[in-house]
Amino acid sequence: MPDLVLKPLTALGHDAPLTESLGPWTLTERADVALASLAPRRGRAEDVARIAAAAGIALPSPAMSAMGAVFGSFWMTPEMWMIEAPFDSHSDIRAHLLGLFGDAASITEQTDAWVRFDLSGENLPHLFEKLANFDLATAPEGAATRTVIEHMGCYLVKRSATQVTIYGGRSSAQSLHHALKLAAQAQA
């Protein structure tokens, strides 16, 4: 019997993350980020805030994101955040966060549930005008929201004036990629 070797694939089904030019924009599939949701348990919000601050994990206000030295985060719902960290050092992000928060928070591994695309370039608000219900032109840097792109629930994070992160369901990665490409081709 031959030796069976399993190789990880990106959400788009490739050996390596995809980077492509879409007119004036660059779309990058990111497979190097670990994700976990974090929610304080009943009556433990102050404990979670204290532990997060000590660990350098910002818990941003509604509709915002934050980046720290190791951890990034964005607000999802009242008292719930998505925590980001480098996959190389936090491949088991849930275990790492459990070591910090113990029973003060409910922590759920999310890495393989989502695909992340970073879209960069000038004039991103022009691209998103018809793509999503999120006004990038007036949103401050660090703004984060849940929205819909082509009937798919997504999170958008405005990293800067020239970079937006799009999180969509991994099972819809091909469809989300296609929608982003079509929108860029129509706007270019």
Domain ranges of the chain: 19-31+113-187, 33-112
161: Cβ contacts below 8 Å, ≥ 6 apart: 124, 141
Average pLDDT score, the chain:
95
Q: Are 47 and 100 in contact (CB under 8 A)?
A: no
Task: Tell me: pLDDT of 161 over 80.
Answer: yes
CATH 3.40.640.10 applies to domain 33-112:
no
Report the pLDDT value the prediction gives residue 188, as an integer from 0 to 100. 67
Average pLDDT score over residue span 56-77: 97
Average pLDDT score over residue span 68-78: 96
Report the pLDDT value the prediction gives residue 141, as an integer from 0 to 100. 97
Task: Tell me: pLDDT of 2 over 80.
Answer: no
Task: Tell me: pLDDT of 8 over 90.
Answer: no
Task: Tell me: pLDDT of 1 over 80.
Answer: no
Average pLDDT score over residue span 72-96: 97
Average pLDDT score over residue span 22-46: 97
pTM, rounded to two decimals: 0.94
CATH number of 19-31+113-187: 3.30.1360.120
Average pLDDT score over residue span 45-52: 98
178: Cβ contacts below 8 Å, ≥ 6 apart: none
Distance CA 120, CA 106 (A): 33
Distance CA 69, CA 62 (A): 21
Report the pLDDT value the prediction gives residue 3, as an integer from 0 to 100. 79
Report the pLDDT value the prediction gives residue 106, as an integer from 0 to 100. 98
Report the pLDDT value the prediction gives residue 187, as an integer from 0 to 100. 80
Output the six-digit token pair for 154.
Answer: 């997504």
Task: Tell me: pLDDT of 180 over 90.
Answer: yes
Task: Tell me: pLDDT of 113 over 80.
Answer: yes
